[in-house]
Chains A and B, each alone.
Chain A
Amino acid sequence: MNIGTKHRIATGTAFAVIGLIAAAIGWAYTEFEDATRQRQQSLEIVQRYTELRLVSIDYLLNRTERSRVQWYAVSDRIDRLIAVNTLRGKEYEAILAGLRARRAEAPRLFAELAEALGNDLAGAEGAEALQRFEAQLVNRFLIDQQDSLTDVFRIAGLATERIEAAQRRVVGVILAGLALIAVITGGLSWLIRRHVLTPIISLQGVTREVAAGNLNLSAGIDRDDELGALSRNFDAMTQSLREVFAQIKLSNQDLAALNRELEAFSYSVSHDLRAPLRSMDGFSLVLLEDYGDKLDEEGKDAIERIRAASQRMGHLIDDLLRLSRVTRADLDVTRVDLSTMARSIADSIDREPSDHSIEWIIEPDLSLRADPSLMHIALQNLLQNAWKFSGRVERPVIRVGARQHDADTVYFVADNGAGFDMAHAENLFGAFQRLHHADDFPGTGIGLAIVQRIIHRHGGKIWAEAREGEGATFFFSLGESENGSDEQDHPAG
């Protein structure tokens, strides 16, 4: 049975129990109301009998027509009241039967009494017997009324007992209902724990283990409900993950082998290319120095071009090697004082012979977590880049600073130099990509590619904003490496 069905059964049962309890309370309360009504009726009968006794004594003492009429009037009301059975039970019925029997006799007794009381017995024959008769009638009359009143009080008592019984029943029903609810709640709690919570806790433990990397665990909940289906799906998912990870592992191994081969190849090629380049440059120089007087100007220019081209190719190879090192180098993340680092680089730039003077505005106390060597390379490239592209403005200014962007600290290097067209911004960080002509701004076009790789190695991102002729700003943030504590190494390290 699935959990949905169990839920519907449990809900239905709970509502049925509540309905049952409500019906029982309603029934008990109806009993209570009936008993209360009966008690009120009983008390009314008591009142009428009290009135009857009052007018009876009145009549015995005064023998007035008024009291006689009242006696019959109240008798009539009593007869109507006791004509209806308002209670159940043998005791009540026996009492009521006695009351009715006495009431049936009462008019005859009263009539005889009225007649007897009207006789003048003084000196009459058989006066003593008549006096005894009269006394007997009066006694009987009073006894009947006393007995009737006692019986009516008993009926009131029975009604009171019924009220008390109904009250006890209400309390009993409520308590039984509460006990039933408690038992059902306990049962439901047990069922939920056994059939829902326990499997979920088990599944939670397995997911935690899987999240921690242990893909060999399986939930193994063999049940015919939603949790069983969830468990089976989860096990199928971990099985798929195991297969995918095994595939990735194999691919990674292949990839790593390929990378190693490629790096070895690149390194070998770079080294192997240097030798002929050095030969070309060296022999070109020999040619110029030893045979320069035999060459015309055009020949010398050709040889100079050969030398420049071979030296440029040498620089390209150096840059390729640097890019390769940046990619392969291990990260050693620690707290880096970016302001001091920028100031140091700026000073070294300033010391180089140049025909333009830069105004450096470097915010103090810039600090981040990064590999110091790589960060130095990145910052040097950015500052040299800024220096290079602001060489043609009258008052070049280079700023280094930071600002908050959401939760991240974004660092920037800005210049007021040549800037660039943002339409070509996507080519900015490609290796050997250039947005300006080499004659205007010399360089190999590898610098920003190196910066981007360093920032990416730190898990960060880099982007630029610029306008042609108004300067460029390079922004970068370091993501997770920046947010780590000083004591921790970079996760990728």
Chain B
Amino acid sequence: MDSNMPRHKVRVFAAVALVLTAAAYLLVRNQPAAPLATVEKLSIALPDVPHAALLHIAAEQGYFAAQGLDLTIVPVTHGKVAMEQLRQGKADLAAMADVVFLLSVMRGEPFGVAASVLSTSYEHAVVARRDRDIAAPRDLAGKRVGVSFGTSGEYFLWAFLIRNKLAPESVTLVDLPPDQIAPALAKGSIDATATWSPNLADAQAALGKNAVVFTEANVYTLSFLVGGRRDFLQAHSPAIERLLRALLKAEQFSREHPDEALNLVAKRLKVEGKTLQPTWKSFNFRVDLKQSQLITLEDQASWAMARGYVARRPVPNCLPHLYLDALLAVQPERVSVVH
């Protein structure tokens, strides 16, 4: 400072500087901390499905890198494949529907869930052929229903039948890959199907006016989960926390810019934005771990045992398979699981 500067000027500058510094401090003190200098490496098996939108958005927007994560994405077609990649050790993490995760847990595999990144109650429906005398849900009794075994579609059908006071055994289940369902329905080899979007739209389109659609929002709220080996999650808690922070950022982006988020995901999935539009509105993109998810998992456990996917035994305790620590460290209010 100029030593010849008049004293009153020094005082004025000092007062202004003091006030501005205090203001700047108070304004920035609530800002998030800068990314850590160290870079954590992770890999994730990521299905090309809109349910994994938050992961796609975070990758596309650079939120992982901003959190100091070097995330390698292993692209897969759907959740079951992602789980297989995880099982084989080809990825540290995987994203999948809750049913896929539950079946793995029921088989005794040591996986845990770090967070749910989406929930939806309007994803599944039953599409039936009107010409097979199916006008109401109860008319499904005795019919051949095509589903992809071991998927959320099959679990939805189970819950749907129960909701309509039908014994699950009252229908004949036909195992079909998701892409074969619409042709089979059109051909008539099955009378109905329970599946998810966008296969749902394909099935409906294949039948045209012959289609009858039954929805039931109250039977199943699907959760799309991000998980990994439990020991891995515990050993890499800081990296998982960074991953969750990036996903929370993506959640904020999807909430504040829904159209942009949809187009961004459509681009990643190489589909038209309008293709995603019908289901997108029913998606609740939110990073959390809820008690209701735990209850759903246990209900799915009952289903899995009833379907013979695993041996009958008491409903397992799924709580140890929820890895709460990372989300509790990042945003504890996102965890409503009683723990």
A-side residues, CB < 8 A to B, are: 90-91, 94, 98, 105, 109, 126, 128-130, 132-133, 136, 139-140, 142-144, 146-147, 150, 153-154, 157, 168, 171-172, 175-176, 178-179, 182-183, 185-186, 189-190, 193
Q: List 27 A-B contacts (CB under 8 A).
A: A90-B256, A90-B258, A105-B217, A126-B165, A126-B167, A128-B167, A129-B166, A129-B167, A133-B163, A133-B165, A136-B219, A143-B221, A144-B218, A146-B290, A146-B336, A150-B290, A150-B291, A153-B333, A175-B19, A175-B26, A179-B20, A182-B12, A182-B16, A182-B19, A183-B16, A185-B15, A189-B8
Interface size bucket, B side?
35 or more
Pair B16/A179 contact, Cβ less than 8 Å: yes
For B234, list chain A residues within 8 Å (CB).
none
For A183, list chain B residues within 8 Å (CB).
16
For A98, list chain B residues within 8 Å (CB).
284
Pair B165/A178 contact, Cβ less than 8 Å: no
Name which of B240-248, B292-300, B322-330 contacts chain A.
B292-300
Q: Mark B244-257, 1 if CB is under 8 A from A, else 0.
A: 00000000000110
Max chain B C-beta neighbours (<10 A), residue from A94, A147, A193: A147
For B255, list chain A residues within 8 Å (CB).
90-91, 94
Q: Mark B224-266, 1 if CB is under 8 A from A, else 0.
A: 0000000000000000000000000000000110100000000
Question: Closest approach, in angstroms, between the C-beta of B151 and any C-beta of chain A?
Answer: 19
Pair B218/A154 contact, Cβ less than 8 Å: no
Question: Closest approach, in angstroms, between the C-beta of A185 and any C-beta of chain B?
Answer: 7
20 other contacts beyond A133-B162, A175-B27, A182-B12, with CB at 8 A cut-off?
Answer: A90-B255, A98-B284, A105-B218, A109-B218, A129-B167, A133-B165, A136-B159, A136-B219, A140-B218, A143-B296, A144-B218, A146-B291, A146-B336, A147-B290, A175-B23, A178-B19, A179-B20, A182-B15, A183-B16, A190-B12
Pair A130/B30 contact, Cβ less than 8 Å: no
Pair A171/B26 contact, Cβ less than 8 Å: yes
Chain B's closest residue to A98 (CB) is B284
For A132, list chain B residues within 8 Å (CB).
162, 168
Question: Closest approach, in angstroms, between the C-beta of A57 and any C-beta of chain B?
Answer: 14
For B218, list chain A residues within 8 Å (CB).
105, 109, 140, 144
Q: Mark B180-219, 1 if CB is under 8 A from A, else 0.
A: 0000000000000000000000000000000000000111
Question: Closest approach, in angstroms, between the C-beta of B145 and any C-beta of chain A?
Answer: 16
**B13 CB within 8 Å of chain A:** yes
For B162, list chain A residues within 8 Å (CB).
129, 132-133, 136
For A186, list chain B residues within 8 Å (CB).
12-13, 15-16
**B22 CB within 8 Å of chain A:** yes
Pair B23/A172 contact, Cβ less than 8 Å: yes
When the two chains form the complex, which single residue of A129, A150, A154, A182 contacts B165, counting CB atoms closer than 8 Å?
A: A129
Chain B's closest residue to A105 (CB) is B218
When the two chains form the complex, which single residue of B15, B165, B284 contacts A130, counting CB atoms closer than 8 Å?
A: B165
CA distance A126 to B165 in the complex (A): 9
Question: Closest approach, in angstroms, between the C-beta of B326 and any C-beta of chain A?
Answer: 19
Question: Closest approach, in angstroms, between the C-beta of A175 and any C-beta of chain B?
Answer: 4
Question: Closest approach, in angstroms, between the C-beta of A157 and any C-beta of chain B?
Answer: 6
Chain A's closest residue to B119 (CB) is A147
For B22, list chain A residues within 8 Å (CB).
175
Question: Closest approach, in angstroms, between the C-beta of B158 and any C-beta of chain A?
Answer: 9
Chain B's closest residue to A164 (CB) is B30
Pair A94/B284 contact, Cβ less than 8 Å: yes
Question: Closest approach, in angstroms, between the C-beta of B222 and any C-beta of chain A?
Answer: 13
CA distance A130 to B255 in the complex (A): 40
Enumerate B281-315 residues with CB–CB distance to A below 8 Å. 284, 290-292, 295-296, 299
Question: Closest approach, in angstroms, between the C-beta of A127 and any C-beta of chain B?
Answer: 10
Question: Closest approach, in angstroms, between the C-beta of A344 and any C-beta of chain B?
Answer: 64
CA distance A317 to B214 in the complex (A): 151
For B27, list chain A residues within 8 Å (CB).
172, 175
Chain A's closest residue to B23 (CB) is A175
Pair B12/A139 contact, Cβ less than 8 Å: no
Question: Closest approach, in angstroms, between the C-beta of A241 and any C-beta of chain B?
Answer: 34
Question: Closest approach, in angstroms, between the C-beta of B53 and any C-beta of chain A?
Answer: 15
Chain A's closest residue to B296 (CB) is A143
For B16, list chain A residues within 8 Å (CB).
179, 182-183, 186
For A185, list chain B residues within 8 Å (CB).
12, 15
Chain A's closest residue to B163 (CB) is A136
When the two chains form the complex, which single residue of B8, B258, B292 contacts A147, counting CB atoms closer than 8 Å?
A: B292
For B19, list chain A residues within 8 Å (CB).
175, 178-179, 182
For B333, list chain A residues within 8 Å (CB).
153-154, 157
Chain A's closest residue to B22 (CB) is A175
Chain A's closest residue to B167 (CB) is A129
CA distance A143 to B336 in the complex (A): 12
Given contacts A172-B27, A186-B13, contact A139 B299 (CB under 8 A): yes
Question: Closest approach, in angstroms, between the C-beta of A477 and any C-beta of chain B?
Answer: 49
Question: Closest approach, in angstroms, between the C-beta of B255 and any C-beta of chain A?
Answer: 5
For A94, list chain B residues within 8 Å (CB).
255, 284
Identify the 9 closest CB pairs spanning chains A and B, nearest first: A175-B23, A143-B292, A129-B167, A186-B12, A150-B336, A182-B16, A132-B162, A179-B19, A182-B19
